[in-house]
Amino acid sequence: EVQLVESGGGLVQPGGFLRLSCEASGFTFSSYELNWVRQAPGKGLEWLSYISDSGNTVYYADSVEGRFTMSRDNAKNSLYLQMNSLRAEDTAVYYCVRDGTPGTFGMVHFDNWGQGTLVTVSS
Amino acid sequence: DIQMTQSPSTLSASVGDRVTITCRASQTIDSWLAWYQQKPGKAPKLLIYKASTLESGVPSRFSGSGSGTEFTLTISSQQPDDFATYFCQQYKRFPITFGRGTRLEIK
């Protein structure tokens, strides 16, 4: 069974930083591309970033480009999101999400989602 | 960026009703569209991909259609478990974008 388990969320002050982790199991982690998607309270879904299977290619949404860094460690079956210069509008549940088919360079649906981790940016 | 416009934003229906949700893309996305269902406090769940392919394990009362810029999600006979919020998503190109969601309520 595919499992994606996020951790690292919490309360942080504006301008602060946080590092989210996603531990994967149940599939060949190094073969799949992954994404981060967030959802502000009561709002819709916002795609944030994509990383290729090797980690060599990363794309970001404009809203987080330059502030967030996505990375992965295939030896540890883990995905990361380093979030710097956090703002109140970054308050959301952050989901680790798997691409539905390996090797499609992000042009594919999302077939598995983690349970999410809540990040609250407030003073 | 490709804008995804979903309608309606809220839909009231009764058990047994046929329900249709529409998603329109601001430019052609061929058939690179997925539909997700989300219940309160839970992660989204994939229902349909490539506009009309039913994800394994999803009941056959769900169906998707369309291509280009106009897409629909249909529930042939609404069941109690289907009351949730539904999102469309395009994956034709980055940035990947979602519709704002359709909340399906009990009438």
pLDDT tens-digit readout, B51-95: 999 999 999 999 999 999 999 999 999 999 999 999 999 999 999
Residues of A within 8 A of B98 (CB-CB) are 44-47
Split at pLDDT 50, 70, 90, the class of A103 is confident
pLDDT (0 to 100) of residue A115: 98
Q: Using CB atoms, which residue from A45, A61, A108 is nearest to B87?
A: A45
Contact A45 B44 (CB under 8 A): yes
Split at pLDDT 50, 70, 90, the class of A119 is very high
Split at pLDDT 50, 70, 90, the class of A107 is confident
Contact A100 B46 (CB under 8 A): yes
The average confidence (pLDDT) of chain B is 97
Whole-angstrom distance, CA of residue B74 vs CA of residue B92:
22
- Cα dihedral sign for B14, B16, B18, B22? positive
Beta carbons within 10 angstroms of residue B24's beta carbon: 16
Give the position of tokens 């999803």. Answer: B58
Q: Any idea what DSSP says for residue A82? A: E
Average pLDDT for A33-54: 97
Task: Tell whether the model's pLDDT for residue A59 goes beyond 90.
Answer: yes
Nearest CA in chain A to B101: A44
pLDDT (0 to 100) of residue B78: 94
Beta carbons within 10 angstroms of residue B66's beta carbon: 19
Contact A47 B98 (CB under 8 A): yes
Split at pLDDT 50, 70, 90, the class of A105 is confident
pLDDT (0 to 100) of residue A104: 84
